Structure 1
Amino acid sequence: MSYDYSLIGKRIRKAREDHGITQEKLAEQLDVSNAYISKIERGKTPINLQRLSELCAILEKSTEYILSGTNSSTGDYLRNEIMMMLEGCSAEKIKLISQIIKPIIEFHED
């Protein structure tokens, strides 16, 4: 299985911001450099499993959520993942995506 480190980094950044701590504070708690946290959040460097486990404990997030964007304990887990994917899209791409999903949303099964 291959991971999209830029999406993992976005999830880590969002979890950190939601938790109300800075990159500096997180780096201090993990005993790493601020530059390392920055690179992880930008998807420029992968995070090893030991650090991921420590980070998840600090941010109170599951490794499942950080790695895949899902948390099977909540029924609404894909909504956040879709929103994160849309963040980096141009207006043109969002329009195209809208045209694709609108018929799916409007479809009524009998």
Structure 2
Amino acid sequence: MDINDTMIGSKIRQFREQKGLSQEELADIIGISWRHYIYIEHGDRKLNIGLLVSLSNALDITPDVLLSDYLTGTNDTQNTELLALFNDCNPTEKAILMDMLKHMKALLSEYGI
């Protein structure tokens, strides 16, 4: 299976921007040079497991969010999308959405769905 490093780099950039981090800031957080980070974000370098974990931790996501296009045999795609939506919310938005989800889930149960 071929992994598209450019696509993974684009996802990393998206989550970095959502967190309001510059490329230099994220590189510092994960302990690599800015130039090395640029290569990763542009898809010119492959991620090793250690960097994948460091990036995931720094961006408050799980590694499967970055690798979701390559995972098979699971229905984690919806979970990944939901997590990405939640990661893009502030704490107030998260609280409101959680409350709404709990109420909607209860309504689905009431209707036997």
Paired position in structure 2 for 1:72: 76
After TM superposition, which residue ranges in structure 1, 4 or more long, deviate above 4 angstroms? none
Alignment RMSD (CA, Å)? 2.3
- Which SS does the other structure have where 1:32 is aligned? coil
How much has 1:67 moved relative to structure 2? Answer: 1.7
In structure 1, runs of 5+ residues without a counterpart are 81-110
- Which SS does the other structure have where 1:74 is aligned? helix
Amino acid at match of 2:53: S
Amino acid at match of 2:76: S
How much has 1:31 moved relative to structure 2? Answer: 1.3
* 1:9 matched to 2:9: yes
Q: Is the 8 A contact 1:8 1:68 kept in 2?
A: no
Alpha-carbon separation, structure 1, partners of 2:79 and 2:65: 13
TM-score (normalised: structure 2) = 0.61
Q: Deviations over 1:74-99 (max 9, x none)?
A: 3683xx9xxxxxxxxxxxxxxxxxxx
TM-score (normalised: structure 1) = 0.62
Counterparts in 2 of 1:75 and 1:68: CA distance versus 1, 3 Å: closer
Paired position in structure 1 for 2:28: 28
Percent identity between matched residues is: 29
Alpha-carbon separation, structure 1, partners of 2:80 and 2:64: 14
How much has 1:73 moved relative to structure 2? Answer: 6.8
- Number of equivalences: 78
Q: Deviations over 1:38-74 (max 9, x none)?
A: 1111100111111110110110112111123488273
